[in-house]
Structure 1
């Protein structure tokens, strides 16, 4: 029986529950939040069988790839889940303006400065992932008047947290571009923003919500994994400088890594398939590099290596098409 696509996984927890956690953080601070997180993560681990299997799979792949002699145990999975919970604290802190520039280390800061100096002449595309805390980059960007950052998200996913944060900070919804599917209208809107000198953030480690087979396979932790063509084709259409961005938490400090990926990802007619394959392989290689820096901060709790075809993945494409009409 085909496995369910990642987009079929329902968000767990209510908006009220998240708002309660935000309130606890604001009143009592991180210490009580972290204390409450212990049984909360325990509950999600006991009841989230699919996410738990995915965590085991990922951690085993990681151990095999690094040739670690240690077997993966339940407490490693708990630590993986717990880091996901900690990332929620970090998002809350960022959107409540409790993260200052003193808490952040910018790697390659000259690249950020170059982007500021180029405005309003040229924008850029940042390609991120579900490794670390990309949300923190966007929250910090709200306080930088010289860098307007837009994030592309799918409307029906990961919005409960956004709605809860918005109650305490309306700016959390600023520059959030919500879409059900990628189309010409979205591409035109994003092109306008880039031409105005703005930045567009998209993630490259989730396959299409609606379509089968729009992927290229690239080695990731020693096994071929499907990577969506969409983000890279979109970056090609926007025809502007493209960067990779990662935000990892290391030794209590937030580290933002910005790498120049290409002056333009524009694909030529001849050799388009080979170019796209090379681009995706380069992205997968850099994603793996940073994943090894912070292995417990990889937050894709589904079978990442599952083949993207109808025999292996189940998408409710009929319903999704109706939703977008």
Structure 2
């Protein structure tokens, strides 16, 4: 197996915990520099209960200073936004980026990254997965079927939809799903264009990808219709003690959890360059073809240094 089709992206550090003390406008320069260094994609995460640069605002800004890279969400909490307005915003970004947008969506999970955001948005936590799938179906209808003015699902109902801004691509931006529960794997295979999980064990990734591909084929789609991606936190640091301390600060400031707990739920690649490359290679061997890397440091200076170090690995990862 060759790695010719492997793409590498980096998460923009839009949470204030990562850029605090710096000018947030430096994030725009960070995006441009990542493209120059050879990364294939730039990503933003989402949330409303912590201080951050809003995800879609950041992508619009990044679109203006980049020309080649994919711009993506990892992952967008789609149901927390008004669905018609969100479709308009996403189509606008795709136009500004000339067709470079990829939208990964998620529904959150229990704890600080779930119910509090739903409560703040006045959206019911119950039936969130059905609401997410209906939101995506509505977006696709707005983009692809402008003559169809009605949409009636289990939860979303519209009798007179407006004419929507058309995205750059006729078929609209690809929409991926973040999740690794059995239900999420089935839904990914049935209706999504890509899959962005973060399992800590490459063996679990391999078996889950097989489930996604099987579900795709059961619904009349080709297994290759779903792009297999991976979200992972990375840190290149030769000193094990320094790596541990840096990752501990990163885990607590960004997830509110100790590092050992984060490692139980998320893919982490840390250590010297050889160790990080070998760890990520386990996932590409398991089938991942687009790696979305979150730089495991705090403070833009340290994150900039990590961007350079990870960029040096790109030829080895592809």
TM value normalised by structure 2: 0.28
